[in-house]
Amino acid sequence: MKVLTLDDFDLKGKTVFLRVDMNCPIDSNTMEISGTKRIEEAIETIKALDQSKLVIASHQGRVGNDDYTGMDKHVKVLEKLLNKKIKYVEDVIGQSAQNEIKNLQNGEILLLDNLRLCAEENYEFSPDDASNTIMVKRLAHLFDLCVLDSFPSAHRSHPSIVGFPHVLPACAGRIVEREVRNLDEIMTVAKAPHVIVLGGSKVPDRLEAIKMLIKTGRADHVLLTGLIGNVFMRAQARVKYPLGIKREDEVVAKAHALIGEYPDVFTTPVDVAIDKDGQRVDMDVRDLQTGDKIYDLGPKTIDHYSKIIASAGTVFISGPAGFFEKKDFSLGTRGLLNAVANSMATSLVSGGHLTTALKEQGLEEKINHISTAGGALVLYLTGEKLPMIKALESAASKHKSD
Ligand code: 3PG
């Protein structure tokens, strides 16, 4: 790996900007964190920086979405996990944040508020432009080192990811170090047929990535589940009513175009489970009635997909197959993970939901690599160099020539 790691720096007494990804699922009724996995994962790097003046920064959710909140909940979880008081400031780039950073002592930790409160963090920039954002201009001079450990956001060229490393010495945190090493190893042994099992809810991002995966020979079969599966069934006119999702016409049109361009690649469910008065009801896709809420795959589909997974050389699964938090609708997710774990293929599992489900099923040991990332990993697999990795490589080459 051509990037620097924490082992390349003397960290003692240094003021460090640590970009993590503590973007957690949020229960929309209570607005509390419903899964703390991403915070737990950040702990290893935080502990490695226990001699520094440490400033932790993350985003949470997207502006306009239900999961867009402050980091006040995260600080409580961090304190519990570290058994230590963490300073928290409801600010990102203002005077209060700057004062708190300046006043930090060795061994102290400060958590900034949601980076996306700062408008610039919601846009993509070139590294040069990112280093000229107000965020980087106001904060960078307060730090000695930038540590990037938010692998799930490695595909975002936001100021916190590509701006700080452009002007500061920068290195990978433990998650990024491990992900890149493991993924590089996996990519060298990956063999055809490549089976991709895609679910989850970030449909527009996924549609872009699917096309690239197919074009780069990383997807011989794409098995669709979850919301993206519903979008493809709608594009095939097998679901005959609107799904009621954001940008529906646009994503359905894109799915339709993909099916036209690659007719032999996609497999969609033949049966699904819907929620009828709080009960799971399995049915053939042809029997769906307007307004039926599809919450899981049906048993025939789980069986069919499992057989395709069993014949894979490499299998990559990302995103839950249904509303897996509800036990009745977790059969698809659990069944497919079981198939992946028991196949002879090189296996890659991505994203927080699936990682949680794998752990519950005790299947972690049977998987070649479990990644913290969702969308970033999909792009990584296409062979595209992610903005965070480029930023780290460029920081490493500058460091060498200094
Ligand atoms: C993720 O969960 O995929 C990352 O935190 C990135 O989030 P984003 O898709 O909102 O940029």
Three-class SS string for 156-209? CCCHHHHHHHHHCCEEECHHHHHHHHHHHHHHHHCCCCEEEEECCCCHHHHHHH
What are 173's two structure tokens?
Answer: 């945190």
Side-chain-side CA neighbours of 14 within 13 Å: the count stands at 18
Q: 69 CB less than 6 Å from ligand 1?
A: no
> What are the pLDDT digits (tens) for 297-347?
999 999 999 999 999 999 999 999 998 888 999 999 999 999 999 999 999
Distances in Å between the alpha carbon of 260 and those of 235, 263, 265? 10, 6, 10
Distances in Å between the alpha carbon of 6 and those of 131, 145, 146, 172? 22, 10, 10, 7
CA angle 99, 55, 142 (to 5 degrees): 50
> What are the pLDDT digits (tens) for 54-113?
999 999 999 999 999 999 999 999 999 999 999 999 999 999 999 999 999 999 999 999
Pick the atom of ligand 1 nearest to 376's CA.
3
SS3 of the chain: the string is CCCCEHHHCCCCCCEEEEECCCCCCECCCCCCECCCHHHHHHHHHHHHCCCCEEEEECCCCCCCCCCCCCCHHHHHHHHHHHCCCCEECCCCCCHHHHHHHHCCCCCCEEECCCHHHCHHHHCCCCHHHHCCCHHHHHHHHHCCEEEECCHHHCCCCCHHHHHHHHHCCEEECHHHHHHHHHHHHHHHHCCCCEEEEECCCCHHHHHHHHHHHHHCCCCCEEEECHHHHHHHHHHCCCCCCCCCCCCHHHHHHHHHHHHHHCCCCEECCCEEEEEECCEEEEEEHHHCCCCCCEEEECHHHHHHHHHHHHCCCEEEEECCCCCCCCHHHCHHHHHHHHHHHHCCCEEEEECHHHHHHHHHHCCHHHCCEEECCCHHHHHHHCCCCCHHHHHHHHHHHHHHHC
pLDDT of residue 351: 80
Q: 152 CB less than 6 Å from ligand 1?
A: yes
Span from the CA of 228 to the centroid of ligand 1 (angstroms) = 17
pLDDT of residue 318: 93
> What are the pLDDT digits (tens) for 115-134?
999 999 999 999 999 999 99
Pick the atom of ligand 1 nearest to 62's CA.
10
In CATH, the number for domain 6-176+385-401 is: 3.40.50.1260
Asked if the model's pLDDT at residue 142 lies above 70, the reply is yes
The protein residue with its alpha carbon nearest to ligand 1, atom 7, reads 153
Q: Which of 202, 207, 353 to mutate to test the pocket of ligand 1 (most atoms within 8 A of CB)?
A: 202
pLDDT of residue 401: 65
Rounded CA-CA distance 119/116 in Å is 6
> What are the pLDDT digits (tens) for 350-400?
987 898 889 889 999 999 999 989 889 988 988 889 999 999 999 999 987
Q: 276 CB less than 6 Å from ligand 1?
A: no
Span from the CA of 299 to the centroid of ligand 1 (angstroms) = 31
Contact 20, 42 (CB under 8 A): yes
What are 375's two structure tokens?
Answer: 């969308």
Rounded CA-CA distance 39/60 in Å is 11
Asked if the model's pLDDT at residue 1 lies above 70, the reply is no
Span from the CA of 61 to the centroid of ligand 1 (angstroms) = 7
Span from the CA of 66 to the centroid of ligand 1 (angstroms) = 14
Q: 375 CB less than 6 Å from ligand 1?
A: yes
Contact 146, 165 (CB under 8 A): yes
Rounded CA-CA distance 321/295 in Å is 8
Question: How many residues are there in the chain?
Answer: 402
- Percent share of the chain, pLDDT over 70: 99
Q: 156 CB less than 6 Å from ligand 1?
A: yes
Rounded CA-CA distance 142/144 in Å is 7
Interior/surface letters 288-297, b for 16+ CB within 10 angstroms, e for the rest: beeebebbbb
Rounded CA-CA distance 173/179 in Å is 10
Interior/surface letters 83-98, b for 16+ CB within 10 angstroms, e for the rest: eeebbbbebbbeeebb
Give the mean pLDDT of the chain: 95
Cα 284 vs. chain centroid, distance in angstroms? 32
pLDDT of residue 375: 86
Pick the atom of ligand 1 nearest to 373's CA.
3
> What are the pLDDT digits (tens) for 270-279?
999 999 998 9
The position carrying tokens 């299947």 is: 363
The topology (CATH level 3) of 190-371 is: Rossmann fold (3.40.50)
Q: 121 CB less than 6 Å from ligand 1?
A: no
How does residue 244 score in pLDDT terms, banded at 50, 70 and 90? Answer: very high
Span from the CA of 152 to the centroid of ligand 1 (angstroms) = 6
Q: 38 CB less than 6 Å from ligand 1?
A: no
Asked if the model's pLDDT at residue 251 lies above 70, the reply is yes
User: Mean pLDDT throughout 208-221?
Assistant: 92
pLDDT of residue 37: 87
Asked if the model's pLDDT at residue 257 lies above 80, the reply is yes
Phi and psi angles of residue 18, each rounded to the nearest 5 degrees, phi first: -110, 115
What is the residue extent of each domain of the chain? Answer: 6-176+385-401, 190-371
CATH fold match for the domains 6-176+385-401 and 190-371:
yes
> What are the pLDDT digits (tens) for 278-289?
899 999 999 999
Asked if the model's pLDDT at residue 402 lies above 70, the reply is no
Pick the atom of ligand 1 nearest to 59's CA.
5
